Structure 1
Amino acid sequence: MSKLIYLDNAATTKTAPEVVEAMLPFFTEYYGNPSSVYSFASKSKEAVTRQREIIAGALGAKANEIYFTAGGTESDNWAIKAAAEAYESKGKHIITSKIEHHAVLHTCEYLEHRGFEVTYLNVDENGVVDLEELKQAIRPDTILISIMFANNEIGTMEPVREIGEIAKEHGILFHTDAVQAFGQIPIQVDELHIDMLSASGHKLNGPKGIGFLYIRKGLRLKNFVHGGAQERKRRAGTENVPGIVGLGTAVARAIRTMEERTKLEKEIRDYLIDRVLKEIPYTKLNGHPTDRLPNNANFSFRFIEGEAMLLSLDMAGICGSSGSACTSGSLDPSHVLLAIGLPHEIAHGSLRLTLNEEITKEDIDYVVEHLKEIISNLRAMSPLYEDFIKKQTK
């Protein structure tokens, strides 16, 4: 492939060179088990402690409130299952939304089979949770509210501060899946009344296979993995020291570059959105027009199939997606797009483009020109489009 424009950073990101450099010594030089007592292992133990402090500082949390995991999916599972188990004597009702990542939705479905009740909140046409509906859904036996910080498909940011205030007022635990938001948006857990927060390294130029769960001190959650005494006995297993070092380095980088990086991403994102909406007819921007992730643009193109569009883009060296990477093998339309009210036939023609700080306006020009041609060619083969045009010209 002569050209590559990678616009699927919501699926995963390139590991930053400084992250790789920081990790390397912990594969070959400082490879001791941090749980060991001899001095050779002290470098590993010190590194884990330091990364925990870096991540906690980024959230305004305490170091002993950060627990390392294998990624966002594990963190979501831990938060929801452990909260359900720990607080089921108070009640067995959980509130979430219809547009959560499947790591949350499928965990809630798992709990439903075990006697818990789950309320799935609707969202408006922009993907925003209705706070009044949330308040009305709260019951005396509600033990957990789990609402994502920002949607992984359409980029919409949820009213997390208000949700946190409602949860605190009613004495309910509040968990947020911040996998897409952490590193892109400033987050302070105390200000937002967040009790648990999930994040993943590979979404912010860190390595895959490492993430963390923030658990507010004082929550009586049960152990998630049984075995040794790692992670203060809550998640057993030898620590992934290189991954933890990579995660901490990536977090420090993300916080350091956030203001300048997201300003650039917003500028390029808005340029992309403006060109696509003006130059490709019968196109809709999905998600909130302004309260969205800095790097996210999600479109629906009428009268086409998303899979054919992605294959054509790939031939031009352009990487995008039609939704979450976790459901890319599914033929069903996105549950997020259906939840915001799109009919199946339009939801099938969606395209998510997610930027990084390396994408330029010249790259976007290349993408838009190819996209215009691809959409035009696909519509020319569409009976639905042909019928639509005939009706328009009568």
Structure 2
Amino acid sequence: MIYLDYAATTPMSEEALAVYTETAKVYFGNSNSLHDIGSDAARLLAICRKQLAALINGEEKGIYFTSGGTESNILAVRSIIQAHRHKGNHLITTVTEHASLYHLFQQLETEGYEVTYLSVDRFGRIDIDELEQAITPNTIFASIHHANSEIGTVQPIQEIGKLLRKHGVIFHSDCVQTFGKIQVDVRAMYIDSLSLSAHKIYGPKGVGAVYIDPRIKWTSCFREATHESGFRPGTINVPGIAAFVTAAQHICDHLSDEQSRLEQLRQYFISQITEKQLPIDIEGHCDAHLPNIIGLLVHGIEGQYTMLECNRYGIAISTGSACQVGKQAPSRTMIAIGKETEEAKQFVRISLGKPTTMADLDRLVATLEAICQHRKG
């Protein structure tokens, strides 16, 4: 089967698998244990923390390892706003955040916080003026994703970060989809906090990280938690973290070349769709986008049908974020960029990865052509 759903998850790389296996054998100790075996695990953990921090141009003291992107988002937001609640109760986010954040902010509204949900334009980008107008004296925190997981639109993060820094608003960004695909630099982008996930970059599932600038105060969500400086409870997954950081280093070392290769594949696919005059629109921003995510609107055909037919032809694609699969409602992102409900239900996403070739995309184009012709007939 041709796999074109890398935005949902990636297979573990050979390098990450090898490190996981070796670490599980040799550094199996609990990193909080005081004996030598525990100390060995703790030293490896410290090295991983330093290496991951370097990849985002942050400080090692700001890295906290977690069980993945969702937990990273939730703990980062709750830990920071809890420490700054005395300054105000107004929060800012967008209507197109990942489900883990969108639903968290809805929950926070029931807990006494006021939340402003920024709109996006037809390409999925927020308006900087709308962001500035949303800031009030009670605004303490904003969470704006680096890029959308369904259409791949990249937000002007540096401009956003600079504006929020000027107004003294703490800035968190969900970088789960962007880390390892485009440059992530917490200093250059004025990011105070961000979330990462291993399984999006050929690392293991169940591992992630939060970065919080050491100058930003946070309060633990868990009383008496002893792991990760009290950030979360639970024995640290040292082998998983070592594999995560190995995958991160490898993907960041090849970031520029792979970004260029994926962009060429993306443009090739779009050119083939255009050349064959298929009834398919490419969603998202034409310039500010991730190279690996392509959102498609297949006119007149529900996304679920397109996905199942592609699967029948031996091609794995998705109808959007894997965290939303099974929901009856259409894509929130599609509605936010101005699509009607029926149009929004016609959305599918393809996402490219390291093994993707031009021949894979030729197969996909031929399959989409067959699906469109069959429905038309």
2: CA distance between counterparts of 1:372 and 1:114? 50
Map Cα deviations across residues 244-276 of structure 1 (whole Å, 9 max, x no partner): 111110111111111111111111111112212
1:266 maps onto 2:263 in alignment: yes
1:317 Cα offset (Å): 1.0
Alignment check: 8 A CA contact 2:66 2:207 kept: yes
Report SS of the residue matched to 1:192: coil
1:91 maps onto 2:88 in alignment: yes
Q: Which amino acid aligns with 2:17?
A: V
The 5 Å alignment of 1:1-394 reads: 4-380=1-377
1:280 Cα offset (Å): 4.1
Instruction: Give the direction of change, closer, same or farther, for the CA distance of 1:344–1:53 in structure 2 (3 Å limit).
Output: same
Report SS of the residue matched to 1:24: helix
Report SS of the residue matched to 1:175: strand
1:277 Cα offset (Å): 3.1
Alignment check: 8 A CA contact 2:3 2:316 kept: yes
Q: Which amino acid aligns with 1:236?
A: P
Q: Which runs of 5+ in 2 are unaligned?
A: none
RMSD: 1.1
Report SS of the residue matched to 1:332: coil
2: CA distance between counterparts of 1:226 and 1:184? 36
Alignment check: 8 A CA contact 2:31 2:236 kept: yes
2: CA distance between counterparts of 1:306 and 1:184? 26
Match of 1:386 in 2: none
Report SS of the residue matched to 1:143: strand
Alignment check: 8 A CA contact 2:27 2:239 kept: no
Match of 1:391 in 2: none
Q: Which runs of 5+ in 1 are unaligned?
A: 381-394
Q: Which amino acid aligns with 2:135?
A: I
Alignment check: 8 A CA contact 1:145 1:173 kept: yes
1:228 Cα offset (Å): 4.2
- The farther-off stretch of 157-166 and 81-90 is 81-90
1:92 Cα offset (Å): 0.6
- Give TM-score scaled by structure 1 length: 0.93
Instruction: Give the direction of change, closer, same or farther, for the CA distance of 1:224–1:26 in structure 2 (3 Å limit).
Output: farther
1:40 Cα offset (Å): 2.1
2: CA distance between counterparts of 1:49 and 1:224? 23
Alignment check: 8 A CA contact 1:94 1:119 kept: yes
Match of 1:387 in 2: none
Report SS of the residue matched to 2:71: helix
2: CA distance between counterparts of 1:224 and 1:28? 32
2: CA distance between counterparts of 1:112 and 1:38? 46
Report SS of the residue matched to 2:254: helix
2: CA distance between counterparts of 1:72 and 1:49? 21
Report SS of the residue matched to 2:307: helix
Map Cα deviations across residues 164-193 of structure 1 (whole Å, 9 max, x no partner): 011000000000000000111111101111
Q: Which amino acid aligns with 1:198?
A: S
1: CA distance between counterparts of 2:241 and 2:124? 33
2: CA distance between counterparts of 1:111 and 1:26? 39
Q: Which amino acid aligns with 1:346?
A: E
2: CA distance between counterparts of 1:251 and 1:39? 28
Which of these two proteins has the greater Rg computed from alpha carbons? 1
1: CA distance between counterparts of 2:109 and 2:225? 30
1:218 Cα offset (Å): 2.0
Instruction: Give the direction of change, closer, same or farther, for the CA distance of 1:344–1:278 in structure 2 (3 Å limit).
Output: farther
1:234 Cα offset (Å): 2.1
1:225 Cα offset (Å): 3.3
Q: Which amino acid aligns with 1:195?
A: D
Q: How many residues align?
A: 377
Report SS of the residue matched to 1:329: coil
1: CA distance between counterparts of 2:283 and 2:196? 24
Map Cα deviations across residues 210-238 of structure 1 (whole Å, 9 max, x no partner): 00000001221111334442211222221
Q: Which amino acid aligns with 1:366?
A: R
Match of 1:389 in 2: none
Percent of pairs with identical residues: 37
Instruction: Give the direction of change, closer, same or farther, for the CA distance of 1:80–1:30 in structure 2 (3 Å limit).
Output: closer
Alignment check: 8 A CA contact 1:99 1:151 kept: yes
2: CA distance between counterparts of 1:278 and 1:351? 20
Report SS of the residue matched to 1:149: coil
Alignment check: 8 A CA contact 1:84 1:143 kept: yes
